[in-house]
Structure 1
Amino acid sequence: MKESKTGIFSEDEKESFYKVIFSRRDVRKNFVTKTISDKVLHKILLAAHHAPSVGYSQPWNFILIRNNDTRNLVKESFLKERLKAIDLIPNKAKRRDKYLNLKLEGILESDLNICITYDHSRFGPFVIGRMTIKEAGIYSVCCAVQNLWLAARVENIGVGWVSIIDNIDLGKILNLPSNVQPIAYLCLGYVKEFENRPDLESKKWLERMPLHAVINFEKWDNESETESSWNSLRNELKKQT
């Protein structure tokens, strides 16, 4: 795939971009038996590899997994960690069953799994921009995850991020060196359909917060209206409430 030249996007292109963002889902179910071709997989991985990274360090690696023995070991870690989380659920008596009935992974049902890792040692100890905020390297890997996720959605491929896994287990299962940290364990595959709303929203586990609830102006004071230059945006936010 050739790298596109920087240019101005048309209105149709802009619309397509926002459509991809708003239709992206964390997919854990409805996977179908269809193999992702090497050509499509290459495009998705290339998009991930073009994510921004602190100091241009590109600290990610992608471990592609189709072997069922490996996936079964990962699934065992998921099941163990899911049970541990029960003790942390508020109002446990009311929400425990709901939590256990949620479909939270597609490790075995998806076409393939991808573990995206972070290598802190890549390009040596000095990386521009990482000295003050040491986590910036991990943030870079998260950018690669998002690129992969959106590219997969464009290709009509579902992606689910399985975060209920022990990283120590993953390190052993995938034979990771000591300087490499697993950041995201993803399940990829074609699906019957993409849901209209996120699963945890449709299952009434949580609701999407309104945008105005997470916007602050100038300082941590969401109620302040002393700075009039933001009035136009405030009015726009009220319209969307």
Structure 2
Amino acid sequence: MQGGTGAGGAKPEFSQAFQRDFETLLKWRRDVRRFRTDPLPAGALDHLLALADLAPSVGNSQPWRIVIVDSPDKRAGIVACFEAENEAAAGRYDEGMAQQYRQLKLAGLKEAPVHLAVFCDGAPAQGHGLGRATMPETLAYSTVSMIHTFWLAARAEGIGVGWVSILDPHAVGNILKVDAGWRLVAYLCVGFPEEEHIDPELERAHWQARSPLETRLFRR
């Protein structure tokens, strides 16, 4: 239902059923690591990216730069980068933790049909610098907002997303030959999940459970 009018058109009213569905979407979002290799339906990726592009950004700068990584050679380079950084990460733990770490499934790079490298342009002309003079990092924050919008839109259509952060940003930029002024924010694997779970994989693997909100909520 819609009610009210204004210069921008009718104001939407979101039903209680929609609100419940949105809460369910947030609970089932999940960071997917286990993908089926099936391709996405024709037009699905374009649709999700168009929805993600509706995300807010500082000064309306839209600083995100999205690289669709289709080349087998470039994907192989990303996998090699991940494997090197993943082994280095394991070496930072003691022997027991390192063994547990190596058993974690931390990426779906070899299975996911779609790879997206999301960069932030550190000096976009769009927006004319509004809102970021004292906090230039808001450009990266805006890019993360776009990523989360993409994530929810994908999940609403049964498509999973996995954020791979165990990568050398400089190496990824070199592999993909992007502008030197772009900063890697996320490397995303996208595809249909192999299995469905409402609880995070790291929680199921006894690595880290979620903590209560009260431990992160403060008043001044």
Output the TM-score relative to the length of structure 2.
Answer: 0.92
Which residue does 1:132 correspond to in 2? 134
Return the alpha-carbon distance in structure 2 between the equivalents of residues 96 and 162 of structure 1.
19
Within 5 Å, give how 1:139-218 maps onto structure 2.
139-217=141-219
Return the alpha-carbon distance in structure 2 between the equivalents of residues 126 and 104 of structure 1.
39
Return the alpha-carbon distance in structure 2 between the equivalents of residues 124 and 57 of structure 1.
5
Are the structure 2 counterparts of residues 66 and 5 from structure 1 closer, same or farther at C-alpha, using a change threshold of 3 Å? Answer: farther
Which of 48, 58, 61 in structure 2 is aligned with 1:54? 58
Which residue does 1:36 correspond to in 2? 40
Return the alpha-carbon distance in structure 1 between the equivalents of residues 46 and 126 of structure 2.
28
Which of 26, 48, 51 in structure 2 is aligned with 1:21? 26
Q: Does 1:109 align with 2:111?
A: yes
Return the alpha-carbon distance in structure 1 between the equivalents of residues 71 and 135 of structure 2.
37
User: Match of 1:159, SS?
Assistant: strand
Return the alpha-carbon distance in structure 2 between the equivalents of residues 178 and 93 of structure 1.
38
Residue type of the alignment partner of 1:122: P
Query: Is the CA contact 1:65–1:113 (under 8 Å) kept in the aligned structure 2?
Result: yes
Query: Gaps (5+ residues) in structure 1?
Result: 220-241
More helix by share: 1
Q: Does 1:82 align with 2:86?
A: yes
Which residue does 1:229 correspond to in 2? none
Are the structure 2 counterparts of residues 129 and 49 from structure 1 closer, same or farther at C-alpha, using a change threshold of 3 Å? Answer: same
Which residue does 1:237 correspond to in 2? none
> How far does residue 179 in structure 1 lie from its aligned partner after superposition?
1.2
Query: Gaps (5+ residues) in structure 2?
Result: 1-8
Query: Is the CA contact 1:20–1:153 (under 8 Å) kept in the aligned structure 2?
Result: yes
> How far does residue 108 in structure 1 lie from its aligned partner after superposition?
1.5
Q: Does 1:12 align with 2:17?
A: yes
Return the alpha-carbon distance in structure 1 between the equivalents of residues 89 and 20 of structure 2.
40
> How far does residue 192 in structure 1 lie from its aligned partner after superposition?
2.8
Within 5 Å, give how 1:60-71 maps onto structure 2.
60-71=64-75
> How far does residue 109 in structure 1 lie from its aligned partner after superposition?
0.4
Identity of aligned residues (%): 33
Which residue does 1:239 correspond to in 2? none
Which residue does 1:234 correspond to in 2? none
> How far does residue 126 in structure 1 lie from its aligned partner after superposition?
4.1
> How far does residue 125 in structure 1 lie from its aligned partner after superposition?
8.8
Are the structure 2 counterparts of residues 85 and 192 from structure 1 closer, same or farther at C-alpha, using a change threshold of 3 Å? Answer: closer
CA RMSD of aligned residues (A): 1.6
Query: Is the CA contact 1:68–1:108 (under 8 Å) kept in the aligned structure 2?
Result: no
Query: Is the CA contact 1:40–1:155 (under 8 Å) kept in the aligned structure 2?
Result: no
Higher CA-based Rg: 1
